Structure 1
Amino acid sequence: MTEKVLPPRPSFAELPLDKSGPRGNIWGLFGSSDELGLLNYVTPEVTREAVSEIVHGIRICTDLPLDFFSHPTFGRIGLRHEIKQLNDWAVNDDTITFNPQSTTQWDGFRHFGYQDRKRYYNGCVQADIHNTRKLGVDAWHKSGGIATRGVLLDYGRWAQERNLQPPCLETNIIAVSDLKEIASSQNVTFRPGDILFIRSGFIAAYKDLNDEGKAERAKMLHAPAIGLEQSRETLEFLWESGLVAVAGDMPTLEAWPWANEEYWLHEWLLAGWGCPIGEYFDLEKLGSECKRLGKWTFFFTSTPLHVPGGVATPANGMAIL
């Protein structure tokens, strides 16, 4: 079967592509009806090349338990799990209710738009979100899910080794200069189609909180957290690295609360580029194994839930080293 010919990735300086649209957008690059965004670049060739990353056969799942956050933030509901016995038989069914954004998740393109223009990826408007299934995460599922190369930058370990690590449960930024130095120290480079994973140490720090501390954070409207710097430099780095998605172990990818409205990563990545954002990924075991093996790249697969018109989805992610 002939592989689809895709348009080349424009330079960051060429953005926005739709000059009548908001800052940084690539609208129209894959056509006006596109719902995959940068995931278009996860081609069969990219997947085949990523398979070569499987050297040791070590499988590591990257999702936290659905009930990991006993006190979810942003007013989201936690896991509700009911088990029901069928009649008097030794047979059971269960019912699960949860917010897909209350634990490890991919933010879909319906989640966050340009706040000043009220537009989502490819110009989709709020009425489309409520009256159609445009931009649902089911489009990712129908395309075969996500299967490509992952690259882990372990900021938490790097900073700890240099006695630099700021508190992860406070508003602290991870700068592009940090990411570049970590990549150099780990001897990794990026290639088109990669997913970048950033371990900040947030999940490890959160685990150390007692139940009272977790409850207090959940009550905060803007519970502070470490994350990427909101800047032109960050966006240019992510774009020029050829990435198709970015994920971290922190709540919002960017340092929270957000600051620079011109460079909100959620706007540029989700609404502008069609680039999935991963949050609350469990990168603890993956970080340890990558360090032990001296191997920071791996095959990564993720199967989104097949929810028509879904806003977000558990990652169901697996790294294979």
Structure 2
Amino acid sequence: MSANQDPTSIPFEALPLDPNGPPGNAWGRFGPNDELGTLNLLTPEVIVEAAKEIKTGVRISIDWLLSMPSFPSFNRNPFKQELVLRHPNCVFDDILTFNSQGSSQWDGFRHYANQKARKFYNGHTTEEIESSDVIGLHTVVEHGGMTGRGVLLDFADWASTNSISVSALESEAITLEQIKQVVIDHKLEFRKGDILLIRSGFTAAYNELTEQQRRDMPNRPSPDFNGVEATEGMLRWLWEHQFAAVGGDAPSFERAPIRGSHADPNFNLHEWVLAGWGTPIGEMFDLEKLSAHCKTTGRYSFFLSSMPLKVAGGVASPPNAFAIF
């Protein structure tokens, strides 16, 4: 990148920025020692504008319970809470044990590397990750968290309204053309530095399952869930809008499994977006109440307050997030 080039206005065709890194990377965009990635777009000026979304004071939590899903997929252990009565006093503590990837989460930059290069955002190696707290989520907290203007792209409601049959519990792609149509029909407008949330309908579908169906889900031959298509077109669209972070209610932002005959290995979204651009990815957010409020009011943008756990070297974290209208 040229010394005089604005790091917020780089064309997609200019990628990769680091010629020694993997395809599509934006390493060095915000400097060689950057730990915030596209969260650098959340400038004080952007936050001031985002705060103007607060008009009614309505607050909606968009975290799922830490205990959900009750039987996690991807061979992850379930949430555990131990309630401890501190005898002889009448005082309770609770001890929580959970995988930070188990429920609603932000994937931090230590989570997913470019698999071929085996390097994380800005070129960090596994050895660096294991020996230091470099690019940990605690850095995000110290810089004010993931706080800014959020926009809900409610694909699930749009599909239902237009009699389009979709299943959040099957491996189906939310296509770029469908996303563009939701933008038009819901009159969405994006700004640089927005935090994009896409509702696929996963948590709603999961809530309808029986106990046995929830127990059986992790044992399926393949972890099939819907999500956005992993294509060059989708990556171009995401890059052009310059989101500070992206996420949704699905177990994987892109169609799962994220590898297989249906997926182009050249355009894996976790590799490009998380490891390449330094854009945090959110998964399994509970967007049901948010969806209902947005539909009732016709407002799909809001102030988003999200503060990850301040764990040195944190890989991922519950979002601790609210949408505020």
TM over 0.5: yes
Q: 5 Å matches for 1:100-111?
A: 100-111=100-111
Of 292, 295, 298 in structure 2, the residue corresponding to residue 291 of structure 1 is 295
SS at match of 1:146: coil
Corresponding letter in the other structure for 1:12: F
Q: Using the TM superposition, give the Cα deviation of residue 91 of structure 1 relative to its aligned residue in structure 2, in angstroms.
A: 1.3
- What does 1:54-65 align with in structure 2 at a 5 Å threshold? 54-65=54-65
262, 267, 273: which one pairs with 2:271?
267
Q: Does 1:113 align with 2:150?
A: no
Q: CA deviation at 1:221?
A: 5.7
CA distance in 2 between partners of 1:159 and 1:11 (Å) = 32
Which residue number in structure 2 is paired with residue 311 of structure 1?
315
SS at match of 2:147: strand
Find the counterpart in structure 2 of residue 280 from structure 1.
Answer: 284
Deviations 1:162-181, CA, capped at 9 Å, x for gaps: 11132111111011111111
For 2:307 and 2:6, how far apart are their aligned partners in 1? 23
Distance 2:248 2:257 in 1: 16
Aligned equivalents of 1:245 and 1:63: distance in 2?
16
Render the CA deviation track for 1:183-214: whole Å, top value 9, x for unaligned: 11111111111011101111111111111111
- Give the aligned residue type for 1:271: A
Structure 1 residue runs of 4 or more that deviate by more than 6 Å after TM superposition: none
Deviation at 1:93, TM superposition (A): 1.4
Deviation at 1:289?
Answer: 0.1
Q: Which letter maps to 1:177?
A: E
**In the alignment, which residue of structure 1 is the partner of 2:324?**
320
Deviations 1:12-46 (A, max 9, x none): 11111111211111101111111100001101111
| Alignment partners' CA distance in 1, 2:221 and 2:114 | 21
In the other structure, the counterpart of 1:301 is: 305
Which residues of structure 1 form unaligned runs of 5+? Answer: none
Does the 8 A contact of 1:190 with 1:242 survive in 2? no
Whether the 8 Å contact between 1:156 and 1:165 is mirrored in structure 2 is no
Partner of 2:21: 21
Gaps of 5+ in 2: none
Give the CA deviation at 1:296.
0.4
Partner of 1:46 in structure 2?
Answer: 46
Question: How many aligned residue pairs are there?
Answer: 317
Structure 2 match to 1:171 = 171
Which residue does 1:144 correspond to in 2? 144
- Please give the alpha-carbon distance, in whole angstroms, between the structure 2 residues aligned to 1:76 and 1:281: 17
Structure 1 residue 124 corresponds to structure 2 residue 124: yes
CA distance in 1, matches of 2:319, 2:163: 32
What is the Cα deviation at residue 238 of structure 1?
Answer: 0.6
Partner of 1:227: 227
Percentage of matched positions with identical amino acids: 43
Distance 1:134 1:222 in 2: 33
Distance in 2 between the 1:313 and 1:257 partners? 22
RMSD over aligned Cα atoms: 1.2
Corresponding position: 1:7 with 2:11: no
Q: 1:6 to 1:61 in 2, by over 3 A?
A: farther
